Amino acid sequence: MMDISSEGLQTLAAVVREGTFDAAAETLHVTPSAVSQRMKALEAAVGRVLVQRTKPARATPDGEVLLRLAAQWDLLRLEAAADLTGKPETHHEDSRDTPRMHLPIATNADSMSIWLLPVVAEIQRRHPVAVEILRDDESHSTGFLRAGQAVGAVTSDPRPVRGCSVLPIGAMRYLPVASVEFIETWLPDGLRASDLGRAPMVAFDRKDTIQFDLLGRLTRRHVDPPTTYVPASAEYHRAVELGVGWGAVPASQIQPALDAGTVKTLGSRHVDVQLFWQYWKLESPIINDLTDLVQTAAGEVLY
């Protein structure tokens, strides 16, 4: 049976977070030799190499499993301590002085901009937590779960990360739109492949493939238009409205501009990106509440 100590988990997390054994030793207030001995003991206990001795140090796939365990242990330990000591309840104590637990979650930019921030506000009202939002493309956000850096992630990947549960929360619908002036200038004869191949396009970043998915549906040909990158949700939407290029914008976000007539859709095609909430498989009141809030908020916006 594996003997995994909390001291070993704490040391592993410090090594990966700080990048070197020396830096980890400084944060743990021990010697570099002690860090090395703890890591050797932990690796001997599990029979696996847990850290790549590079600069910076990186967790192996097996090390990532224990990084998640280390983060989960910290959360459960802090929740248990709060239950044992109780929360400030009398008028003599100020609830604002309650220490707040670090609660990291991962998401894509559009979810953060459109529906996730009210979840952050509510979970911080209900529990003494301080949320950190880790942003990445929806197809890559589970990387934070694998590395033990997030307790949950909004993702388009339905394959469960080890130790996590998966909950479908709906689809984000993206519409291809452009300003009226842009359409008159670049696409006066409709959605011809030759015109779409030279008309400027706006993408979020180089991981963003939604526009190319739509191009394939609109033209059934491979075209490679000049692309402007705007890596922020609200600013992306604004860039399309200003005529920087055409782009795929969440339907709920672009509807006011469609109603006002400042932009128009390019044809009747759209792309639905199915989203999931992946979260630690723990009996944690905080994670349970967070999951309920995510499911409710997403259900009000997503298809």
Compute the distance between CA of residue 204 and CA of residue 208 in angstroms, rounded to an integer: 6
CA–CA dist 26, 162 (Å, integer):
31
Cα(242)–Cα(237) distance, integer angstroms: 9
Q: Is the separation of the CB atoms in 104 and 77 below 8 Å?
A: no
pTM of the model: 0.76
Nearest to 145 by CA among 69, 233, 53, 51: 69
> Which structure tokens are listed for 116?
């996730």
Neighbours of 199 (CB within 10 A): 21
* Domains of the chain, earliest start first: 6-62 (1.10.10.10), 67-83+98-163+275-299 (3.40.190.10), 172-273 (3.40.190.10)
Q: Per residue of the chain (303 residues), what is the pLDDT tens digit?
A: 567 788 888 888 888 888 889 888 888 888 888 888 888 888 888 887 888 888 888 888 888 888 877 777 777 776 666 665 555 443 446 667 677 788 899 999 999 999 999 999 999 998 888 899 999 888 888 988 887 788 899 999 999 988 889 999 999 999 999 999 999 999 999 889 899 999 999 999 988 889 888 888 888 778 889 999 999 999 999 999 999 999 999 999 999 999 999 999 998 889 999 999 999 887 788 889 999 999 999 999 999
